[in-house]
Amino acid sequence: MPHSVAVIGGGIGGLTAAHELVERGFDVTVYEAGDRFGGKARSMPVTEGPAAGEDPLHCEHGFRFFPAFYQHLPETMARIPFEPTGGTVADNLVSTSETLVAAVDGPEQVADLSPPKTPGQWIQSLQPAFADELPPEDVTFLTERLLYVLTSCEQRRAEELDEQSWWEFVDAEERSPAFRRRIATITQALVALRPRRASARTMGTIYLQLLLGQLDPTEPTEHILNGPTSTVWIDPWIESLAEQGVDFRTGAAASDLRLGQRGRRIDAAIVDREPIDADDYVLAVPAEVAPNVLSDRAQRADPQLARIGRLDTAWMNGIQFYLSEDLPLVAGHQVYTDSAWALTAISQRQFWNDEVFDVGARGDPAVEGVLSVIISDWSTPGSRVDKPARECTPEEIKTEVLAQLGDHLNREGERLSEDLIHDWVLDPELEPAEVGVENNAPLLINTAGSLKNRPDAATGIENLTLAADYVRTNSDLASMESANEAGRRAANDVLERSDIRAAPTTVYELTEPGVFDPLKLHDRMRYRLGRPHQGDAIRRLLPSGPTGRPAD
């Protein structure tokens, strides 16, 4: 009998596990509670209003961003055929070349994302963003903090740095207001990190990866997709896996993983009130759902399962505007630095391949452009409505988002006006509630001290593995990349315990410049001896020495 695997949850984590397992000869079934695959990464056809219609436009939770340090996702995508072009879905990744950084009270900037070529450009790239707006001592201090992370050994990062927030680590309260506003919040704009709550370990590591990505002359700094995510990636993925034999079930919500009498193995999963039986179970549901599916007995069988419930989530959801005129603005992302709701956006049509997904030929022909906006702060009152986004009606959210964008974009002449909005769709996972909206798809955030609560893919239950973005991974950030790495780790664990002889799938390390390895090694010895970080050595690397808090 082939070795059967039930994958519970059809997001990026579950689909990756299914992909790696079916390629190695396992008999895989994916059970997905919703009606579409792809989880938080999926796009969905618009169902009402002008953007709907026979051949509808798509909406999504938020736009997709693939920074240069992603290794697992591009490799998986290069193994998914894309029939319309005869290539793979990895060919649908296109690079951006600019980022619009719009402020209400300062000059609008367009950051060039191309890698540095001249010595002058290199020196410029090594400076933190907005360096010219910050007091020099803040710039030196941030450089020192980044070097502290870069030269810390793994154990120091996992224990000392994970236990403090990025906000504390960069001494944000004691720095200049410009530092707080610009530096401490810039990563929040593009990735799911909250500078006040995220651990210094995750934020420091990812900040460095984003910075290093910009310096690598061999790769573009970031990619995005050339069409709606499901059209150019997820749907072809499902088709290809189905052809390889994966059985896909939708509307199949798991409510319990039943632990056998001896407490060592799962003996059935309850899906849609019916028991289903498999040799192995890969649980690939979000962090806030996993504790409901894992019984108390299962959670007692492996304490790391009980700790999943302690992980934190936050809201990060999108709203899409369908415009009667295209408004490209810049060839990349847009960051609205002092918007109350931490808005970021992208004008999508300029990147979309008309032959694959022609905006002009879908939904209402009057739609010429698609502006996709993500709201990352749902708790701060708006600048027009005196309440946070989560307490607003969808209509109020739309009006306030447009006002906040307008405050940034229309300072020297109107670029975005109400007249341009032909239709709009708020993330369908947000549902009207008694007060404001409810969110069915919050996003994990790696808060200070949370690493100890994040489980490994392999669990203490013999035939249960985990494959979602909260699993401990090298990629670390709540992202499609982490979910993919988790799916690979889960597949390797299933493979190792099976009779199937096949090579495991690759799990990549994050790469950091080797030049710092001797200092990391030295730090490892110091850490083992209970000694503080080698702050003095770092200070010697800096041109003028830090003027902020000493490193140790």
Interface residues for ligand FAD in 122-181 (CB under 6 A)? none
If one asks whether residue 269 binds ligand FAD (CB under 6 A), the answer comes out as no
| Among 41, 147, 425, 457, interactor with ligand FAD by CB under 6 A | 41
Q: With CB under 6 A as the rule, give the number of residues binding ligand FAD.
A: 38
Least Cα distance to 99 among 137, 63, 72, 135 occurs for 63
Contact between 38 and 234 (Cβ < 8 Å): yes
Which span sits near ligand FAD by CB under 6 A: 56-64, 78-86, 334-342, 365-373?
56-64
| Among 77, 232, 293, 451, interactor with ligand FAD by CB under 6 A | 293
Interface residues for ligand FAD in 497-516 (CB under 6 A)? none
Q: Which residue bears the tokens 């040799």?
A: 279
Can you read off the two tokens belonging to residue 292?
């409901």
Output the smallest distance, CB 335 to ligand FAD, in A. 13
Contact between 197 and 447 (Cβ < 8 Å): yes
Cα–Cα distance for residue pair 466/285, rounded to 1 Å: 9
Interface residues for ligand FAD in 345-384 (CB under 6 A)? 374
Q: ∠ CA 126-132-137 to the nearest 5 degrees?
A: 80
Q: CA distances (Å), 390 to each of 78, 159, 306, 345, 374, in order?
A: 38, 34, 29, 19, 14
Alpha helices by DSSP H, listed for 309-370, are none
CB closer to ligand FAD out of 41 and 329 = 41
| Per-residue x/- track, 64-103, ligand FAD (CB under 6 A) | xx--------------------------------------
Cα–Cα distance for residue pair 65/220, rounded to 1 Å: 12
Interface residues for ligand FAD in 454-493 (CB under 6 A)? 468-469, 478-481, 483
Cα–Cα distance for residue pair 470/286, rounded to 1 Å: 8
DSSP characters over 37-80:
SSGGG-EEE--SSTT-SSS--EEESS---EETT--HHHHHHTTS
CB closer to ligand FAD out of 153 and 314 = 314
| Among 6, 7, 9, 448, interactor with ligand FAD by CB under 6 A | 9
What's the alpha-carbon Rg for the chain, to the nearest Å? 24
Can you read off the two tokens belonging to residue 156?
């120091």
Which span sits near ligand FAD by CB under 6 A: 3-11, 201-209, 242-250, 394-402?
3-11
| Among 7, 17, 18, 33, interactor with ligand FAD by CB under 6 A | 33
CB closer to ligand FAD out of 30 and 519 = 30
CB closer to ligand FAD out of 200 and 373 = 373
Number of residues in the chain: 552
CB closer to ligand FAD out of 155 and 250 = 250
If one asks whether residue 39 binds ligand FAD (CB under 6 A), the answer comes out as yes
Which span sits near ligand FAD by CB under 6 A: 25-33, 176-184, 380-388, 415-423?
25-33
Interface residues for ligand FAD in 248-267 (CB under 6 A)? 253-254
CB closer to ligand FAD out of 183 and 314 = 314
Cα–Cα distance for residue pair 259/281, rounded to 1 Å: 11
Q: Half-sphere exposure of residue 54, counting CA atoms within 13 Å on the CB side?
A: 2
3-state SS assignment for residue 313:
strand
Output the smallest distance, CB 141 to ligand FAD, in A. 29
- Which residues are near ligand FAD by CB under 6 A? 8-14, 31-34, 39-41, 61-62, 64-65, 192, 253-254, 284-286, 289, 293, 316-318, 374, 443, 468-469, 478-481, 483
